[in-house]
Amino acid sequence: MKKGLRIRLYPNNKQINTLNIIFGHTRFVYNYFLDYSKNSKDYKYTNWSKMLTTLKNSDDTIFLKEADKFALQNSLKNLNRAYENFFSKRANEPVFKKKHNAQSYRTNYTNNNIVLYEKGIKLPKLGIIKCKYGKDIKDNKIINVTVKLLKSGIYEASIIYECEEKTLLKTGNSVGIDLGIRKLITTSDNDKYISDLDIDRLNKKIRKEQKRLSKRTLHSNNWNKQRRKLAKVYQYKDHYMLDTIHKATKAIVEKYDTIYMEDLDIKDLLSKQKLKIHKREMLLSSLGQITTLLKYKCERYGKELKKIERYYPSSQTCSHCGKTYRVGKSETYRCPHCKLIIDRDYNAALNILNYGLSHN
């Protein structure tokens, strides 16, 4: 099976210059062939590849030989994939890449050109770059590496490698889960997975850094420094939430064989939020990302993820007597029929499990 590993890179000044050259050349190739395809209506990758060979041998664009050959070819493949998504109506039309956005390129493994050491990684055209990672994959076959320069100024490498498929032991347990904003995941066993991120403090820091950025001259050195500071705050928030979600979903998949959840329409839920603060809270809770991670982890480890009917009123139904009652925005469900008092999300998770077991 294929897996991915993200590692932090610490390039020296010479390697940074080489990386900037590769980023620039891959961006040039992407934009060149995007412009060519718009004018000529030629969208064939094979034709682009032949033209790229001609460009590399031309006097005006011989500088392209300075870059990693796989990086240039993969830039064409990315453009080809972007057009395929556009023509299949899965995405908008490709746009030109800009220098000030996050930069990246992908290189492929061949003839031992990529080697992972204890405190470094060898990459084509760059030599050995210092890096930091916590998982030992030196004995696994590397397929490709994507090098990224994030908006925060941090360099990362995403390594795709092959490894033996691992299966989790079957437990025979089933669970219903309710996704929410206040509590990310609540299970029918009353386990709660909550993010410890201090949102108010983080939003206050973002406003502070954003205010400083607005006072800088656009694209000046001070503006770029402040832009990276702001990007680091956003990056911290994203990484923290992703780490929390990964740990929660892995724990659930390890503990249960069958997982029942609601078939949520995230776009519809967002459109119903009238206040911006509620939209931000829903986006931060990453409901769609939780679903995506659960789905692929269940497929990887041989577990089942089943979705119940989208419009089943799990939050408004009493898990004890089965009668419905509009609970409103209260975190506690108080049934007026059987006098049950229970946590709202726990009640919804129990209903999801019961509904899933009775309809499957």
Q: Which residues are catalytic?
A: 178, 262, 345
Calpha distance 61→59 (Å, rounded): 6
DSSP 3-state of 140 = coil
Please give the C-alpha separations between residue 25 and each of 73, 105, 144, 154, 235, in angstroms, as whole numbers.
11, 10, 19, 20, 26
Calpha distance 95→27 (Å, rounded): 12
Q: Which of 70, 74, 66, 69 is nearest to 33 (CA)?
A: 74
Calpha distance 10→155 (Å, rounded): 7
Query: 40, exposed or middle or buried, with CB in 10 Å at 0-12, 13-18, 19+?
Result: exposed
Q: Which of 350, 343, 355 is nearest to 309 (CA)?
A: 355
Q: Which of 178, 151, 179 is nearest to 286 (CA)?
A: 179
- Looking at residue 139, its amino acid is D
DSSP 3-state of 56 = helix
Q: Which of 105, 108, 103, 128 is nearest to 118 (CA)?
A: 128
Instruction: Say if residues 4 and 160 touch (Cβ distance below 8 Å).
Output: yes
Instruction: Say if residues 221 and 269 touch (Cβ distance below 8 Å).
Output: no
- Looking at residue 167, its amino acid is T
Instruction: Say if residues 76 and 45 touch (Cβ distance below 8 Å).
Output: yes
Measured distance between the N- and C-terminal CA atoms of the chain, rounded to whole angstroms = 30
Instruction: Say if residues 231 and 149 touch (Cβ distance below 8 Å).
Output: no
